[in-house]
């Protein structure tokens, strides 16, 4: 279950500041000490700020920004250059096969993709989990992490990018993945 908890934690992190309380509650179940440290860094930076600042910065980086959203957290954006691309249909096939469907975010939102990986690993489907992660996490989330670090100005959000980058690097190494 350790890897499932790591994916759940990353899903909550990418879901935004409204999930930080839930993330804090499950943090002890994250076995990877390096990841736990990165997650604690994000929470520390975000919780020390005025509560409106992380929400505003999260929105500015991922949801809406006058100059355009610098880091749309969607797999289809990073893999196809558009929102709600063909990759969504592949994801829906995966979700249906395992009897789940995202309800609070689009199917290819980073939080939904990470949550589904948590479900696969949590239900003992490690082979499916590894295949899904190779196809739908490692193929694009490293670029999302780089964009967060380089395009978002707030330290809370940058630390989220560093946590995601560290997690993706660890998973690529674990799965012996190279693009």
**Domains of the chain as residue ranges with CATH:** 2-174 (1.10.3480.10)
Task: Please compute, for residue 168, the number of CA atoms within 13 A of its CA located in the half-sphere on the CB side.
Answer: 24
Q: Indicate the pTM of the whole model.
A: 0.94
pLDDT of res. 142? 98
pLDDT of res. 112? 96
pLDDT tens-place string over residues 11-48: 999 999 999 999 999 999 999 999 999 999 999 988 87
pLDDT reading at 62 higher than 90: yes
> At 64, is the pLDDT very low, low, confident or very high (cuts 50, 70, 90)?
confident
Residues 18 and 128 sit within 8 Å (Cβ to Cβ): no
pLDDT of res. 49? 66
State mean pLDDT over 66-70: 85
pLDDT reading at 99 higher than 80: yes
pLDDT tens-place string over residues 104-149: 789 999 999 999 999 999 998 899 999 999 999 999 999 999 999 9
The Cα–Cα gap between 178 and 85 comes to 24
Residues 134 and 175 sit within 8 Å (Cβ to Cβ): yes
CA distance from start to end of the chain: 27
């Amino acid at each position: 279950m350790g890897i499932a908890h790591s994916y759940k934690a990353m899903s909550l992190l990418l879901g935004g500041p409204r999930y930080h309380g839930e993330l804090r509650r499950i943090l002890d179940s994250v076995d990877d000490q390096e990841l736990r440290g990165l997650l604690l860094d994000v929470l520390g930076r975000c919780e020390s700020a005025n509560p409106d600042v992380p929400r505003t910065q999260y929105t500015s980086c991922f949801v809406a920004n006058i100059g355009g959203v610098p880091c749309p957290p969607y797999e289809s954006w990073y893999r196809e250059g558009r929102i709600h691309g063909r990759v969504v249909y592949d994801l829906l096939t995966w979700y249906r096969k395992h009897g789940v469907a995202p309800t609070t975010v689009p199917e290819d939102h980073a939080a939904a993709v990470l949550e589904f990986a948590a479900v696969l690993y949590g239900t003992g489907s490690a082979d499916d989990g590894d295949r899904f992660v190779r196809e739908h996490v490692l193929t694009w989330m490293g670029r999302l992490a780089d964009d967060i670090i380089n395009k978002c100005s707030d330290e809370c959000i940058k630390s989220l990018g560093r946590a995601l980058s560290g997690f993706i690097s660890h998973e690529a190494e674990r799965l012996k993945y190279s693009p």
